[in-house]
Structure 1
Amino acid sequence: MLHSQSSLFTLACALVVSACLLLYQRSVIRWRARQRGRPLPPGPKRWPIIGNMLDIPTWKPWYGLRDLLDKRASNTSNRIETPLISLAGHDFDFAIMQYGPRWRRHRRMLWQQFHPGKVDIYKPVQRDFTRKLLAGLLEKPGKVKQLLQYQIIGTVMKITYDIDLEDENDARIGYVDSTFSGLRKVTVSMQFLLRHFPLVQYLPAWFPGAGFHKLFAESNPPCAWMLDVPFSQAKADTAGPSIVAELLGGIQTSLSGSKDDSESEEQVARNVAAIIVEAGSDTLVSTLEGLILALSLFPEVQQKAWAELDAIVGAHRLPDFDDRDALVYINAVVKEALRWHNVSPLSIAHVTVEDDELHGYFIPAGTTVVPNIWACMHDPHIYPEPEKFYPERFIGEDGKLNPDVLDPATLIFGSGRRICPGRYFVDAALFLTAASVLHVFDIGPPKDENGCPIKVEFQASHGFLSYPEDTRCTITPRSAEAVALILGSQ
């Protein structure tokens, strides 16, 4: 009996091994048929199961990764499937949705509100909050980040929901800021772990290495608030102009069908409204923080900006959108701000949908494509002395913007079908803020108790989203006329 059982066990093991070998052989044959002799792109040797996980730098990985830019939008518009999105409460965010019909519905609805022919209607609100920023910096120059958040979040809350924030201490600013609290600290290794070993998400929070639960839990209540509270308020009162009122009105006129269809479109509208406030405010505030830090570190930039503003705008009014074409140097400052500090150094990874080929190399379906924005924006062959904040790099010998220099906006805002629909709105906000702040303020280094300058070095924080770590500076009005301009604009 024992001998018979042993024989059966041996036979079973042999069958299992044989089946595994046959499956492996089958997969190799299929792989070679797909590859058709084309090599994979050059890179370090892959390990079984974990692939190249050990080759990914664990600290600020954009310094070490090589990029493969997205030039095949029809095949590289997908996103990584990972449970971290739902864990962080970001199922509504179309920027990280899987490519497909659901994504297209969100993208279409958002684009309708932010295409070039539409963004001009938001300029009065942008102007109003930019002038509130100037007044805030005059009165409370030590609260730069809070005032920038009030400016940007106040703007998008107004145009999206017709909601007025009180000041920089409004609790709703904290709710919006906290929606990104989980994703801000997501690392490449954490993304890899949750993507390839999704069962890890079910580990209890007390288990060693499961601290990500705490990170993601912080952003879930603010995300739920962002989706429901302001939208419900705007839905209850659609008398004032707002994106939500327009979206709801469009749903009512375009859908004569079932209640289920109407509710489905309303959920898309709810998601889109939350995306506008969340995504626009976080990245724009970080970019402006980087700009103000750069101005404090490179005073020669301010000198040239002042000369242009004084000549074009003059001392008796504030800059406005109509001045943009004439303010060449200010436009170059905006481009350099986007290049110098990258809020999303590795952008958001793309995933190929089908097998592809690039420069003779085989790109299998399911390949993760990482656009290394930081490497592109700091390539010394494109931008000499990339660590220097030097707007002149974008200006030609004729005194105009040089079209031959790579415009950071072509990469910063994404690529292909995943390009940011709100880029024109963001660009307008950056221009008016840069021109207005430079027109009336002198930004310098922080000072100690003896009035001596404190040396500050630019350092970007670690994580999926990156922020300037030390933004200390002094902000003082350029003149008595500048103070009068600020006070008179209120």
Structure 2
Amino acid sequence: MINPYQVALTLVTVGLVWFVRRRSRAKPRLPLPPGPPGLPLIGNLKDMPTNMEWEKYHEWCKEYNTDILHLRVATTSFIVVDTAEIANDLLEKRSSLYSGRARLPMVNELMGWTFNFGFMDYGNYWRKHRRIFHHSFHPTAARQFHPHISRATKKMLNRFLEDPSDMMEILRHLAAETVLKIAYGIEIQAKNDPYVRVAEAAVHTLLAAAVPGAYLVDAIPLLKYIPAWVPGAGFRTEAKEWRVLANKMVEDPYRAVKAAIANGTAIASFVSVSLQKMEEGTDEAYQEDVIKSTAGTMYTAGADTTVSAISSCLLALTKHPEIMRKAQKELDSVVQAGNLPSFDDEPSLPYITAIVKETLRWRDVVPLAIPHMLSVDDEYRGYHLPAGSIIIPNAWAMLHDEKVYPEPFRFNPDRFMKDGKLDFKTQRDPNHACFGFGRRICPARYMAFSAVWLAIASILYVFELEKVKDEDGNDIEPLEEYFSKLVILVKPFQYTIKPRSKEKADLIKKSVLASEGFN
């Protein structure tokens, strides 16, 4: 019979030998970047924050008077990049060295997210995924999906009209309806759609597990071999359950598309068009495993990110009715009576664009971006950066830098306006940090921005957002509380939403009926 304590002792011994050998190598002459002192063997394991990590990293940077911070967990170095200047120097100018991804044994090897090219290491296989994604989602190509976004947005407005009580559920339905239609051509059910249920459950486990330092196995990969019954190895049981969800999220809709193609009922989508290109054989990047993985990545990237941005914006507008009024004045002057806002109106609605930009800055969707990995030893500003270091870009700190954005914690779309036009000369366009960095910048950023922009413009045009009042008629200030994960999500807050007029309510119903003729 296997003795669990002997197994654990063996693993610890192997780990210590490995650690000592690494530490015994010739040390570099240059120092590591400053950071909090760690303990022998485990380093900063006990120091690693588990909630609102970006704030703690920034606090450490100020404490140690540095814009580049070093932490160590066991033998893994974490380098926190706290300013846009350093992010540009390393992740943009030296992108060939800094475009890798951390191994992430919990997410990739145990939970089965190797299909997600956002977590793939930099290389030829990753390039194939990025290539076929870019073919469909570069700025010009992304416009082909505008009808899908418009239709899903109209249905979202109707759900707010019928039952506005659960904002997050309505927004999740919007995101799912948009992405599943674009990726697979799938029409989802109005309630309890099986594809949506599985995908949401899978994505939520991912967002919790992908935060740097969330699981020790990411710093000590040998731990992945510990049997699940060993005390402290509960992550193995979690990963096994979560792996089933990830597999269903990728396989089920893909099989549905292939079945539809076989019986001649398939609707044009990323998958169906890509499979056709594979059959034509004109581009070797179009391989079945690449197509399937890329489609699965789409929902992962577009689900909670869209919900996060729109819900944060609605929170800000509820708290700032004066901004809502200004936006509605602009909308009323541009959108023709009897119509909803459309993408054709975007150039004439700069304040709506400023609101979306400010939302992405004020409550950045992914505060720590997705960590990069340094492929070779590097030197920067007199510091040694070890090969294999996990590079954490603190996008939150960059987007709340008071030198760039005065009063950074104030929601103020006017910071991006001058003489009635968009202006990014005085205060920088948040795009420099809110969509990632270098070669790993979000490839779906154009479509994502379009979806958020149309949702905000449409909601503001037909609805009034108000604070809830107490029994004495006083406003109840909505709370600004967030779930701390890879993608932040606002916790449910109190609000009131109602049509601006009977004509606006009728417009919603009319628009939904008209959109049903769209295929």
The two structures have a TM-score, normalised by structure 1, of 0.87
Answer whether contact 1:39 1:361 (CA < 8 A) is retained.
yes
Structure 2 residue aligned with 1:58: 50
Q: Residue 43 of structure 1: which of 35, 40, 48 is its match?
A: 35
1:234 CA drift (Å) = 0.8
Answer whether contact 1:315 1:482 (CA < 8 A) is retained.
no
In structure 2, distance between residues paired with 1:59 and 1:26? 34
In structure 1, distance between residues paired with 2:186 and 2:359? 30
In structure 1, distance between residues paired with 2:32 and 2:280? 51
Structure 1 residue aligned with 2:5: none
SS at match of 2:156: helix
Structure 2 residue aligned with 1:390: 412
Segment drifting more, 74-83 vs 217-226: 217-226
Structure 2 residue aligned with 1:13: none
Answer whether contact 1:149 1:168 (CA < 8 A) is retained.
no
Structure 2 residue aligned with 1:244: 271
Structure 2 residue aligned with 1:410: 432
Summarize the alignment of residues 36-435 of structure 1 with structure 2, pairs less than 5 Å apart. Answer: 37-66=29-58, 67-68=80-81, 69=87, 70-71=91-92, 72-85=94-107, 86-186=109-209, 190-191=213-214, 193-203=216-226, 205=228, 208-213=231-236, 215-238=238-261, 239-254=266-281, 265-397=287-419, 399-435=421-457
SS at match of 2:114: coil
SS at match of 1:357: strand
SS at match of 2:375: coil
Which letter maps to 2:183?
A: T
Answer whether contact 2:304 2:487 (CA < 8 A) is retained.
no
In structure 1, distance between residues paired with 2:155 and 2:187? 13
In structure 2, distance between residues paired with 1:205 and 1:24? 28
* Gap change, CA 1:398 and 1:296, over 3 Å in 2: closer
1:281 CA drift (Å) = 1.5
Structure 1 residue aligned with 2:25: 27
In structure 1, distance between residues paired with 2:342 and 2:37? 55
1:228 CA drift (Å) = 1.2
Segment drifting more, 55-64 vs 42-51: 42-51
**Per-residue CA shift, 1:5-64, capped at 9, x if unaligned?**
xxxxxxxxxxxxxx99x9789722xx43xxxx4332222334433233334333321102
SS at match of 1:226: helix
Q: Say whether 1:488 aligns with 2:486.
A: no
* Gap change, CA 1:393 and 1:229, over 3 Å in 2: same
Segment drifting more, 188-197 vs 387-396: 188-197
Q: How high is the sequence identity, in percent, across the aligned residues?
A: 37
Answer whether contact 2:208 2:214 (CA < 8 A) is retained.
no
In structure 2, distance between residues paired with 1:103 and 1:405? 34
In structure 2, distance between residues paired with 1:467 and 1:25? 40
SS at match of 1:94: coil
Answer whether contact 1:93 1:271 (CA < 8 A) is retained.
yes
In structure 2, distance between residues paired with 1:152 and 1:195? 30
Answer whether contact 1:153 1:281 (CA < 8 A) is retained.
yes
Flag the structure with larger Rg: 1
Q: CA RMSD in A?
A: 2.6
The answer for unaligned runs of 5 or more in structure 2 is 1-16, 59-79, 82-86, 513-519
**Per-residue CA shift, 1:320-364, capped at 9, x if unaligned?**
101111111100001011112223211111111112222332222
Structure with bigger strand share is 2
In structure 2, distance between residues paired with 1:207 and 1:450? 57
In structure 1, distance between residues paired with 2:495 and 2:23? 64
In structure 2, distance between residues paired with 1:56 and 1:26? 25
**Per-residue CA shift, 1:88-126, capped at 9, x if unaligned?**
221111111111122111111211111112011100111
SS at match of 2:497: strand
Structure 2 residue aligned with 1:6: none
SS at match of 2:384: strand
Q: Say whether 1:463 aligns with 2:461.
A: no
Structure 1 residue aligned with 2:516: none
Segment drifting more, 414-423 vs 307-316: 307-316
In structure 1, distance between residues paired with 2:471 and 2:192? 27
1:423 CA drift (Å) = 0.5
The answer for unaligned runs of 5 or more in structure 1 is 1-18
* Gap change, CA 1:381 and 1:168, over 3 Å in 2: farther
Segment drifting more, 330-339 vs 379-388: 379-388
1:449 CA drift (Å) = 6.7
**Per-residue CA shift, 1:136-167, capped at 9, x if unaligned?**
10111112112212212111111211111121
Segment drifting more, 478-487 vs 317-326: 478-487
Answer whether contact 1:183 1:216 (CA < 8 A) is retained.
no
Answer whether contact 2:308 2:487 (CA < 8 A) is retained.
no
SS at match of 1:40: coil
In structure 2, distance between residues paired with 1:211 and 1:60? 24
SS at match of 1:475: strand
1:177 CA drift (Å) = 0.7
Answer whether contact 1:332 1:401 (CA < 8 A) is retained.
no
In structure 2, distance between residues paired with 1:176 and 1:192? 22
The two structures have a TM-score, normalised by structure 2, of 0.82
**Per-residue CA shift, 1:179-224, capped at 9, x if unaligned?**
1122232375744611232233344556554443454345323221
SS at match of 1:370: strand
Q: Say whether 1:442 aligns with 2:464.
A: yes
